[in-house]
Structure 1
Amino acid sequence: MTVSSSSTEGVISDGANGVGEGVKLQRKITLWNGVALIVGSIIGSGIFVSPTGVYVATKSVGLSVLVWCASGIFSTLGALCYAELGTSITRSGGDYAYITVAFGPLAGFLVLWVFLLIIRPTTQAIVAITFAEYAAKPFFPECKPPENSIRLLAAVCICVLTAVNCLSVRWAMRIQGIFTAAKLVALAAIILGGCYYIFTGHTENFSNAFAGKYEVTEVALSFYSGLFAFGGWNFLNYVTEELQDPYRNLPRAIWIALPLVTGVYVLANIAYFAVLTGVEMESSPAVALAFTMKLLGGFQWLVSIFVALSTFGGVNGILFTSSRLFLTGSQEGHLPELFSFIHLKRSTPIPSLIFTCVTSLLMLAVSDVIELINYYGQILWLTTAAAIAGQLWLRHKQPNLPRPIRVHTALPVTFLLCCVFLVLFPVPRQPGKTAIGLAITASGIPVYYLCVKWKNKPQGYHRLLQKITIYTQKLMEVTYPQATEMLS
């Protein structure tokens, strides 16, 4: 799937005419940009809908709050393990980079294959559709917005944010910061509304708070909903090459962002329970909307605006990190070489961003994208488990690898065991989906040997790829980035 620079005679390269010499991704992401990226990626639509899933599984106010606390602690443990990985393997790419270093190029390619084929574009499409639904809702107060309008607005959202990311890293980070602040304001309003309700004497929903269902199966299901809302805790690891002083700022960003999100999530759930009864929680998938309707009456449109702002920032975070993942894959030779090109002046990975945009737009045409992502829930946790297993393996295999941050061994071991549980637990309940997810992942094996390992491809293939590469470089004013150390 790649062509080496030696086989692309005539392609504009570093130093071809002096223009592109030294071009590389710039370290423009500050500590607070990193905090905004983590917080903005985590806080999407999850906190506005997942509380219902947690409560339905536990039937307990107190246990639900404990599940949210535990989900935050679990995500923080994972983020700290990734801080060690991200400061010892400083390449962008997150899970893909770590698994490639630990277990070799085939394992890394399969991770990239799964993320490229379904996970990233589908996740981005889902979040964009959520944005469109809530953004359009104030204009259709009495009915559901038209499906075609929703998908068109979602497409506009993806295209606008792609354009911004192509133009400037700083603009993309400013959008992330602004919309992260908007999310926190929205959640602060929910928390203050709940506090007002409690202080005016409405504490009846907290009586006998810990009565409920404590079966292992039900508690495990509640964690699926809770952890879904914390998705994105490892996104900063996908852009470590652009983070200023990553050895200090990566762990600092984690220590600021994860406790902040956990605190906000727990307080928001307490506010929900203060206003809504258990029956109302169960009957309201959009729990934030039910909360606002009961507390503010006719002002429920405010929630639509807040969720739209939240998910808009979420799309930006997914787009930004996805493009860096594919760029790193291209630099490793696992994707066509043009995906590693960056703009001569703006230092943005335009081909990779456009590819991410196009695949996400294609997913908008799928009638049920949520069903697609369900096949990969276990694969996501399997990928995370593999990255943590790689962390432990590298400690044995490469004990002298520089580790500016080294967490206690108990942390990755505990986190790995929990990930294994999350992978294996659903197998008896959904064996068909598990098999399909594994089959599609395994389909990357022949692709790897055909497109990556097979070096003696026909000359016609190389000439065609060369022409496409040259045309892309001239059209987008992009070039090879400065040489980067290979993962494998």
Structure 2
Amino acid sequence: MAISKNISPTAPEILEPQVDISDSELLTDSVESSEENFKLKKELGLRDGVGIIVGIIIGSGIFVSPKGVIQFTGSVGMSLVVWAVCGLLSMVGALCYAELGTMIPRSGGDYAYIFEAFGPLPAFLFIWVSLVIIMPTSNAVMALTFANYIIKPIFEYCDALPEVPVRLIAAVVVCLLTWVNCTNVKWATCVQAVSTGAKILALSIIIAAGASHLAYGNTQNYEAPFRNTHTSITSISTAFYQGLFSFAGWNCLNFVVEELKDPFKNLPRAILISMPIITIIYVLTNMAYFAVLEPDEVLASNAVAMSLAERGPTIALYLMPTFVALSTLGSLNGCIFACSRLFFVGAREGHLPQALALISIKTFTPVPALIFLGFMTLCMLTTSDTLVLINYISFSESLFVLLSILALLWLRYKEPERKRPIKVWLWVIILFFLVCVFLVVFPFFERPVELSVAIGICLAGIPVYLVCVRQANKSKKFNALMCNVTSVCQLLCYGLPEEKED
């Protein structure tokens, strides 16, 4: 999993380029990099940061299956309350991460914060679970969702879409987006901007349709909005769990802090701009759904946006799948961009093979980390059990968010005088910490077997860490092998490791 300490980024074998860079363009790049430390460029501005957050959070969920919240609340009014409160809680969590991101301005998100507060083993467990479950599975599910909706109009009269074309299209889009992210950061942010615009346009159309329906006096679903509300703690808490899952991705910008221009200003600004926008869009979209559809119709539908489109003109039935596909494409692109930086940082710290810490001297992108993430995602596309792992994803993410917030509290206690450009009120951090505890503990009562398996996968990372990280430097053959792998990757991607600042 990692190379030994004596094969570090400063070793001569790695620092010396193993490629012929006589080409003028590459030579110019290498000369420019020698004038300042060679590292990933700060190319992301405030607009890019907002686009990444909005683009990742607003995926297929708001179009496909918002019925989870009303299923457990029982009423339209309580559903809207849950959506609004979930948005507020997500903003609180994002602000906590803004303090972490400006106090520890390193890419990697949770990995960097857990490493700083609790040391290498807990940080490795995060990257282990991300490698085995969270990142490739999330990307595979999004790719499959894109494929399903992009070909839905072609197989309009089929009860079930053919599996092979769906998986092939998913594999193609994963490879395409991986190539875009390898080639140019600006291209990746352009894809993100276009897809974000498309999804906001689609949601604006849905909101406008709902407002038009209400304007004609169709207000029956709002005449008694809290009728049939479920009052049990179990039901309401599960509804919140469903809603918060739809806001997943609010911490994604923290994974690329080192590429953000003026992160001390742009990180909190991007959060304060994007989170209210997303919350308002989610609430208004659900209001539109309930303006046109009865609550029972929402519960019976696995694709609420498609059910709403059936009430409109025929062209809406063809446009809506396209909008859903573009929405999912943007989320997938954003996740590929952000998640690859986690593997890059993990390799830089010696927790993954050093080859993943290489940066292309031609494109200034972490090409090996991007290709590795793409390969892992393609592996997930080969199994039919991918969707079963979604429950593991939500629990694992909640567990490590809890650990990151605990790291924030611990650093507040351990290093009270540390410079904090952004400082969140302590009671706000404690409130969100309690929410995270709830999200980790409560699901055990609902899915004890699945979550026990998730914990087992997490703990399986301990022996992997002991063998592949702690003991790796004792094996000369292993070190030589990893050094050869790194050299080959240098040749293939014109890569060099990041230079440390003086």
Pick closer, same or farther for the CA change 1:11–1:231 going to 2, 3 Å. Answer: same
Give me the whole-angstrom Cα distance separating, in 2, the residues matched to 1:411 and 1:44.
28
1:49 deviates by 2.7
1:328 corresponding residue in structure 2: 345
Q: Does the CA contact (< 8 Å) of 1:13 and 1:480 recur in 2? A: no
Q: Secondary structure at the match of 1:399?
A: coil
1:56-135 alignment to 2 at 5 Å? Answer: 56-135=71-150
Amino acid in the other structure paired with 1:357: G
Q: 2:8 matched to 1:5?
A: yes
Pick closer, same or farther for the CA change 1:466–1:7 going to 2, 3 Å. Answer: farther
1:79 deviates by 0.2
TM-score by length of 2: 0.94
Root-mean-square deviation (CA, aligned residues, Å) is 1.7
Give me the whole-angstrom Cα distance separating, in 2, the residues matched to 1:327 and 1:450.
21
Give me the whole-angstrom Cα distance separating, in 2, the residues matched to 1:207 and 1:371.
39
Q: 2:412 matched to 1:395?
A: yes
Amino acid in the other structure paired with 1:148: V
1:135-284 alignment to 2 at 5 Å? Answer: 135-143=150-158, 144-211=160-227, 212-284=229-301
Give me the whole-angstrom Cα distance separating, in 2, the residues matched to 1:34 and 1:10.
36
Q: Does the CA contact (< 8 Å) of 2:18 and 2:487 recur in 1? A: no
Deviation track 1:151-182 (CA, whole Å, cap 9, x = no partner) reads 10000110000000000001101111111011
1:300 deviates by 1.2
1:370 corresponding residue in structure 2: 387
TM-score by length of 1: 0.96
Deviation track 1:442-488 (CA, whole Å, cap 9, x = no partner) reads 00001111111115432221221111111110111011112169xxx
Give me the whole-angstrom Cα distance separating, in 1, the residues matched to 2:184 and 2:407.
34
Give me the whole-angstrom Cα distance separating, in 2, the residues matched to 1:400 and 1:479.
37
Give me the whole-angstrom Cα distance separating, in 1, the residues matched to 2:202 and 2:146.
15
Deviation track 1:180-234 (CA, whole Å, cap 9, x = no partner) reads 0111000000000100100011111112111121211111111122112111111
Pick closer, same or farther for the CA change 1:145–1:181 going to 2, 3 Å. Answer: same
Give me the whole-angstrom Cα distance separating, in 1, the residues matched to 2:151 and 2:254.
33
Pick closer, same or farther for the CA change 1:252–1:14 going to 2, 3 Å. Answer: farther
Give me the whole-angstrom Cα distance separating, in 2, the residues matched to 1:298 and 1:344.
47
Q: Does the CA contact (< 8 Å) of 2:17 and 2:490 recur in 1? A: no
1:335-374 alignment to 2 at 5 Å? Answer: 335-374=352-391
Give me the whole-angstrom Cα distance separating, in 2, the residues matched to 1:402 and 1:9.
35
Structure 1's consecutive aligned runs of 4 or more residues displaced over 4 angstroms after TM superposition are: 6-9, 14-18
1:51 corresponding residue in structure 2: 66
Q: Does the CA contact (< 8 Å) of 2:53 and 2:249 recur in 1? A: yes
1:96 deviates by 0.8
Give me the whole-angstrom Cα distance separating, in 2, the residues matched to 1:6 and 1:177.
35
1:379 deviates by 2.0
Higher deviation after alignment, 453-462 or 220-229: 453-462
Give me the whole-angstrom Cα distance separating, in 2, the residues matched to 1:391 and 1:308.
37
Q: Does the CA contact (< 8 Å) of 1:8 and 1:466 recur in 2? A: no
1:469-488 alignment to 2 at 5 Å? Answer: 469-483=486-500
1:451-462 alignment to 2 at 5 Å? Answer: 451-462=468-479
Q: 2:42 matched to 1:39?
A: no
1:403-442 alignment to 2 at 5 Å? Answer: 403-442=420-459
Pick closer, same or farther for the CA change 1:14–1:483 going to 2, 3 Å. Answer: farther
Give me the whole-angstrom Cα distance separating, in 2, the residues matched to 1:350 and 1:403.
33
Q: Does the CA contact (< 8 Å) of 1:378 and 1:423 recur in 2? A: yes
Q: Does the CA contact (< 8 Å) of 2:14 and 2:497 recur in 1? A: no
1:285 deviates by 1.4
Give me the whole-angstrom Cα distance separating, in 1, the residues matched to 2:8 and 2:120.
20
Q: Secondary structure at the match of 2:153?
A: helix
Amino acid in the other structure paired with 2:216: T
Higher deviation after alignment, 14-23 or 474-483: 14-23
| Unaligned stretches of 5+ residues in structure 2 | 22-26
Give me the whole-angstrom Cα distance separating, in 1, the residues matched to 2:488 and 2:424.
47
Give me the whole-angstrom Cα distance separating, in 1, the residues matched to 2:18 and 2:70.
60
Higher deviation after alignment, 217-226 or 86-95: 217-226
Give me the whole-angstrom Cα distance separating, in 1, the residues matched to 2:367 and 2:40.
12
Q: Does the CA contact (< 8 Å) of 1:46 and 1:228 recur in 2? A: no
Amino acid in the other structure paired with 1:121: P
Q: Does the CA contact (< 8 Å) of 2:245 and 2:394 recur in 1? A: no
Give me the whole-angstrom Cα distance separating, in 1, the residues matched to 2:16 and 2:225.
65
Q: Does the CA contact (< 8 Å) of 1:12 and 1:473 recur in 2? A: no
Give me the whole-angstrom Cα distance separating, in 2, the residues matched to 1:153 and 1:300.
21
Deviation track 1:348-394 (CA, whole Å, cap 9, x = no partner) reads 00000000000000000110212112123222111001100100100
1:444 corresponding residue in structure 2: 461
Q: Does the CA contact (< 8 Å) of 1:112 and 1:329 recur in 2? A: yes
Give me the whole-angstrom Cα distance separating, in 1, the residues matched to 2:352 and 2:422.
31
1:308 deviates by 0.3
Give me the whole-angstrom Cα distance separating, in 1, the residues matched to 2:316 and 2:94.
37
Give me the whole-angstrom Cα distance separating, in 1, the residues matched to 2:315 and 2:207.
19
Give me the whole-angstrom Cα distance separating, in 2, the residues matched to 1:369 and 1:297.
33
Higher deviation after alignment, 10-19 or 145-154: 10-19
Higher deviation after alignment, 368-377 or 51-60: 368-377
Amino acid in the other structure paired with 1:171: W
2:485 corresponding residue in structure 1: 468
1:29 corresponding residue in structure 2: 44
Amino acid in the other structure paired with 1:300: L
Q: Does the CA contact (< 8 Å) of 1:121 and 1:363 recur in 2? A: yes
Q: 1:385 aligns with which of 402, 424, 428?
A: 402
State percent identity of aligned pairs. Answer: 45
Q: Does the CA contact (< 8 Å) of 2:472 and 2:478 recur in 1? A: no
Amino acid in the other structure paired with 1:5: S
Amino acid in the other structure paired with 2:185: V
1:434 deviates by 1.8
Aligned length: 485
